[in-house]
């Protein structure tokens, strides 16, 4: 059961804090959707999987609104999404993943400077353990401090650091390995 | 600040992530200047950060369907995840009593059996997964209906696959897709009414040739009417009133049976 996050070390930005009337609750969730959508996509392997996760998360957030203590909705929603994702990934047989859709999906709305590099990076993400990937995304993409990540995931800061380290080293190794192959068949 | 405090790996991460104050930054930079390999590693981490930010930034957008996501899901009582992972065991079977079709009369009341249970479950999963898709509900859209019918007909080895027309009931074809049903190629057609309610019609190959009555499987608010006719199994799934779903199932049966 998710509880609202421990306020220790959590800043209340990004739609956090305050009112708890039903109307403003919905409005806050709505305002959080873009960030949740980004986080969802950064955890998952395809657009479809990402939208599913987002939908599951929103349902759960809305259903559990009574449990929210009005502290930091963003951190609370991130925790719910992370847990849903990890549960699903544990429940499903682990797929070796990758896939055309994963790469295609990223090419979606805006094209960042170097699509080849971006695809390589996103492909390399698939090799990370899900737990380590979540930590890296919360830090690198969502901009949380290590302390905040520890609060969101309810793990010690030391564990955050070791997962972050593992994710970064694995990613670096993967990118170095795949350099030659990718240059041969750019897409 | 202690200038001589050794630089830890945690410091390197914090440096890469921009969490260090000026004094600590300087301490780490001095250390990196003397350790080129480590400096390359930290530079790579920073490049990863930039790359990841860029890669996922495009997804931080609002969608026109966001309001529906909030309003539409507010009424659900069980998480989608739960529904998706629900096992066949959780599906309650209700056997229809009533003269739907004359020639089914002898079989109208059947003993509970597991036959077709897999079909109903697969139909339900397909509905839950695909009907909620906003952008990619189908592989081939209804504007290529003839192609859709011939393609899926070929994959299912059905000489003349008919795609049911449900206009008379107020549902229009969105399109269809190929998907596995009992480990063989199966077809899924999706329909939508004016209010955006969707139903799916699944067609799959059946192990042995036989006929069953209509059956209904329901779990939460999603219901599936299914039947086996010859070596094909059919399932109609939706989250709509049962009478309406039944009317659609009957219409599909009528049109498939021609």
Same domain? B252 vs B132: yes
CA distances to A55, A90, B66, B68, B192 from B134, in Å: 12, 26, 11, 11, 12
Crossing angle of the two packed helices B22-34 and B36-56, in degrees rounded to 10: 120
Say if residue B49 is in the same domain as residue B102.
Answer: no
Residue A185 confidence (pLDDT): 39
- Residue of chain A whose Cα is closest to the Cα of B43: A172
Q: What is the pLDDT of residue A91?
A: 65
- Note the pLDDT of residue B217: 85
Q: Tell me if A121 is assigned to some domain.
A: yes
Task: Mark whether B113 and B29 lie in a shared domain.
Answer: no
* pLDDT tens track for B188-217: 999 998 877 889 999 998 777 777 777 888
Tens digit of each residue's pLDDT (9 = 90 or more) over A78-107: 999 998 888 777 766 444 444 333 333 333
Q: What pLDDT does residue A114 have?
A: 61
B9, B19, B73 member nearest A59 (Cβ): B73
Q: What would the mean pLDDT of A118-126 be, rounded to a whole number? A: 84
**pLDDT the model gives residue A135:** 97
Q: Give the pLDDT score at B116.
A: 65
Of A180 and B134, the one with more pLDDT:
B134
Rounded to the nearest angstrom, the minimum Cα separation between A59 and chain B is: 6
Tell me if A3 is assigned to some domain.
no
Is residue B79 domain-shared with residue B197, that is, in the same domain? yes
One domain for residues B54 and B97? no
How far, CA to CA in Å, does B97 sit from each of A64, B50, B170, B215, B217?
40, 63, 26, 10, 14
Q: Which residues of A touch B74 (CB under 8 A)?
A: 26, 62
Same domain as B168, residue B55: no
Quick one: closest CA in B to A88, which residue?
B81
Provide, as residue numbers in chain B, all residues whose Cβ is less than 8 Å from the Cβ of A42.
52, 55-56, 59
On whether residue B42 sits in a domain, the answer given is: yes
Number of structural domains (chain B) is: 2
CB contact under 8 A, A55 and B44: no
Residues B213 and B120 in one domain: yes
- Left if phi > 0, otherwise alpha if psi is -120 to 50, otherwise beta: which for B51? alpha
The answer on B190 and B84 residing in a single domain is yes
Q: Is residue A87 part of a domain?
A: yes
pLDDT for position B4: 66
Min distance B220 CA to chain A CA atoms (Å): 15
Contacts of B60 in chain A (CB under 8 A): 34-35, 37-38
Query: What CATH number is attached to the domain comprising B109?
Result: 3.30.200.100
Residue A83 pLDDT: 87
A25 touches chain B (CB under 8 A): no
| Residue B24 domain boundaries | 9-59
pLDDT of residue B137: 86
Contact across the interface for B133 and A51, Cβ inside 8 Å = yes
Range of the domain at A175: 22-184
> Which residue in B13, B56, B80 is closest to A42 by CB distance?
B56
On whether both B21 and B136 belong to a single domain, the answer is: no
Chain B nearest C-alpha distance from A139 (Å): 8
Provide, as residue numbers in chain A, all residues whose Cβ is less than 8 Å from the Cβ of B17.
139-140
Is position A5 within any domain? no
Chain A contact set for B19 (CB, 8 A) = 145-146
Residue B218 lies in a domain: yes
Q: For the residues of chain B, what is the DSSP string, one character each? A: --TTPPPPHHHHHHHHTT-S-HHHHHHHHHHHHH-HHHHHHHHHHHHHHHHHHHHHGGG----TTHHHHHHHHTT-SS-HHHHHH--GGG-EEE---S-S-GGGGGGSS-----TTHHHHHHHHHHHHHHTT-SS-S-SEEGGGHHHHHHHHHHHHT-TTPPPPP-GGGT-EEEEEEEEEETTEEEEEEEEE-TT--EEEEEEEEEEEEEE---EEEEETTEEEEEEEEEEEEEEEEESS-HHHHHHHHHHHHHHHT-
In a domain, B64, yes or no: no
DSSP A19: -
* A36, two tokens: 């949740």
- Is the confidence at residue A109, as pLDDT, over 60? no
Residues pairing with B175 in the sheet: B141, B190
Is the confidence at residue A1, as pLDDT, over 70? no
In a domain, A147, yes or no: yes
pLDDT value for B258: 66
Residue A106 maps to a domain? yes
In this structure, the answer to whether residues B147 and B195 fall within a common structural domain is: yes
Q: Determine if the pTM surpasses 0.80.
A: no
Q: What is the ipTM of this complex?
A: 0.72
Residues of chain B with pLDDT under 70: 1-4, 72-116, 258
A33–B63 CB contact, under 8 Å:
yes
Cross-chain residue pair A117–B41, CB shorter than 8 Å: no
Q: Work out the burial of residue A150: count CB atoms within 10 Å of its CB; fewer than 13 is exposed, 13-18 middle, 19 or more buried.
A: buried
Q: Which of A41, A52, A66, A49 minimizes the C-alpha distance to A118?
A: A41
User: What CATH number is associated with residue A33?
Assistant: 1.20.140.160
Q: Tell whether B3 is covered by a domain.
A: no
- Total count of domains within chain A: 1
The answer to whether A47 contacts chain B (CB < 8 Å) is yes
Residue A15 within any structural domain of the chain: no
């Amino acid at each position: 059961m998710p509880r609202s996050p421990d306020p220790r070390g959590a800043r209340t930005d990004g739609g956090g804090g305050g009112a708890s009337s039903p109307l403003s609750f919905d409005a806050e969730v709505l305002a959080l959707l873009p960030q949740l959508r980004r986080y969802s996509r950064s955890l998952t392997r395809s657009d479809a999987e990402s939208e599913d996760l987002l939908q599951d998360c929103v349902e759960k957030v809305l259903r559990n609104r009574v449990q929210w203590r009005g502290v930091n909705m963003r951190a609370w929603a991130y925790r719910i999404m992370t847990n849903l994702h990890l549960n699903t990934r544990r429940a499903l047989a682990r797929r070796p993943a990758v896939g055309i859709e994963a790469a295609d999906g990223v090419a979606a709305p805006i094209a960042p400077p170097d699509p080849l590099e971006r695809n390589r990076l996103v492909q390399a993400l698939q090799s990370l353990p899900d737990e380590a990937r979540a930590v890296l995304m919360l830090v690198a993409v969502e901009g949380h401090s290590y302390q905040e990540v520890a609060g969101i995931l309810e793990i010690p800061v030391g564990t955050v650091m070791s997962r972050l380290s593992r994710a970064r080293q694995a990613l670096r190794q993967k990118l170095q390995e795949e350099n030659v192959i990718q240059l041969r068949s750019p897409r | 600040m202690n200038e001589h405090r050794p630089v830890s790996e945690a410091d390197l991460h914090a440096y890469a992530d921009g969490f260090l104050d000026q004094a600590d930054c300087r301490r780490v930079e001095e250390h990196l200047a003397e350790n080129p390999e480590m400096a390359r590693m930290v530079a790579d981490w920073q490049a990863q950060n930039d790359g990841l930010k860029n890669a996922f930034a495009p997804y931080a957008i609002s969608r026109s369907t966001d309001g529906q996501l909030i309003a539409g899901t507010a009424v659900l009582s069980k998480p989608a995840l739960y529904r998706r992972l629900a096992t066949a065991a959780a599906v309650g079977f209700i056997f229809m009593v009533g003269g739907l079709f004359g020639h089914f009369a002898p079989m109208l009341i059947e003993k509970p059996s597991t036959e077709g249970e897999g079909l109903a479950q697969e139909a339900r999963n397909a509905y839950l997964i695909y009907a909620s898709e906003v952008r990619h509900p189908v592989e081939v859209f209804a504007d290529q209906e003839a192609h859709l019918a011939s393609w899926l007909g070929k994959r299912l080895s059905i000489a003349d696959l008919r795609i049911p027309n449900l206009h008379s009931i107020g549902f229009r074809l969105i399109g269809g897709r190929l998907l596995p049903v009992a480990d063989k190629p199966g077809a899924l057609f999706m329909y939508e009414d004016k209010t955006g309610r969707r139903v799916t019609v699944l067609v799959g190959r059946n192990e042995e040739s036989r006929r069953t009555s209509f059956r209904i499987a329901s779990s939460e608010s999603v219901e599936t009417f299914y039947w086996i006719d010859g070596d094909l199994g059919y399932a109609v799934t939706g989250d709509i009133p049962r009478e309406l779903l039944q009317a659609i199932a009957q219409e599909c049966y009528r049109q498939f049976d021609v």
